[in-house]
Amino acid sequence: MSAAVVPHRRSRPDEPRTARITVLPGDGVGPEVTAEAVKVMGAVAARWGHEFHFDEGLIGGCAIDATGSSLPETTLELCRYADAVLLGAVGGPRWDGASQTDRPERGLLALRKGLGVYANLRPVVARQRLVGASPLRAELLRDVDVMVVRELTGGIYFGEKGREPMSGGGERAFDVCGYTTGEIERVARVAGEIARARRRRLTSVDKANVLETSRLWRSVVSRVIAEEFPDVALEHMLVDSCAMHLIRRPADFDVIVTENMFGDILTDEASMLAGSMGLLPSASLGVGADDGVDAIDPTEPEGVARGSAPSRMGLYEPIHGSAPDIAGKGIANPIGAILSVAMLLRYSLGLEKEARLVESVVDAALDDGVLTAELASRGQRAWLTTEVGDEIARKIASAP
């Protein structure tokens, strides 16, 4: 059985760490939010005596402008030799023209494939302080805490695609969606491990009434969970039904596992439970059987792994896009990027204590009204991007 994507501990919990982080600011608001995330990592390093070294690379539209490629080979090499990668965002209207031979999003897909990060973890938490920012009624948001596990390197995004002329005029376009048993097995194991460490409830989302890939998905997930995670309650749900129930009864969900496109769409919808897409982080991870990471131990707090293990390279990014309409205005919300740092500390560096502090400080800052414009109420101060980063870094330095 392949090792699962789970947090792990250092063999000496109080030992300072040295790590190399590749930062890919990207396009739009990407440089603004990653700058604040790096600032927070600096505060963490100063507090615990860690040494974090940062290398910067090009990806997306800015990489096309500078090198002609959305993912230069030098960027990919920087990422492969890093302990973790922190990404901002890619894309924008400048690179949307039909004449484009390369697109910013191609660089992101190539990076995911090149790093082999097949499991995308997206936590969605509804905080009481921010229930007014959500379009849902406050009573629906009570106890909402969902982890979405999105398969990241298969499906329609990576299938054969193209256009061909039709004899009667016009064109035919196609995008092939394909999945293998192995691709489904490994992400099902990730979801099973995470569900086992939480409330032991797993919802697998597909479209098995229509799609053959979904019928394979459902059968493989059923087998993996039944054989390897008999203590986890599995429910299958069609994607359209899931989209409805995420709004109707969001607190009933614990862990959701789904394929690439469905996961992309559902987590954008789920961001409204939290109040803003700017609040949501993500971790993209990949583990092979020879990784050396032990299986998760559900008797341990927060589902940390047994024993010690080497660091696991991962790709961390907020789920929001490049938001070109607000780029350069200093009003982008950096919380999603900062919470991605917490996931980086936990999953790639094994710094659980540091990760929890970042998360608790973010909660405290939000409770104190440290909110950017899209979350601030009328008459309430709207904090600038850099001010949010400064305040969270200050709170990390002064936390008891």
Catalytic residues: 157, 207, 240, 264, 268
According to DSSP, residue 383 is labeled P
According to DSSP, residue 271 is labeled H
Task: Tell me the C-alpha distance between 135 and 313, whole Å.
Answer: 36
Task: Tell me the C-alpha distance between 51 and 49, whole Å.
Answer: 7
DSSP codes of every residue in 285-298: E---TTS-PPPB-T
DSSP codes of every residue in 171-240: EEEEE-----HHHHHHHHHHHHHHHHHTTSEEEEEE-TTT-HHHHHHHHHHHHHHHHH-TTSEEEEEEHH
Which pairing describes strands 283-285 and 119-125: parallel, antiparallel, or unpaired?
antiparallel
Task: Tell me the C-alpha distance between 92 and 112, whole Å.
Answer: 20
Task: Tell me the C-alpha distance between 188 and 202, whole Å.
Answer: 10
Task: Tell me the C-alpha distance between 287 and 28, whole Å.
Answer: 31
Residues paired with 13 in a beta bridge: none
Task: Tell me the C-alpha distance between 349 and 24, whole Å.
Answer: 18
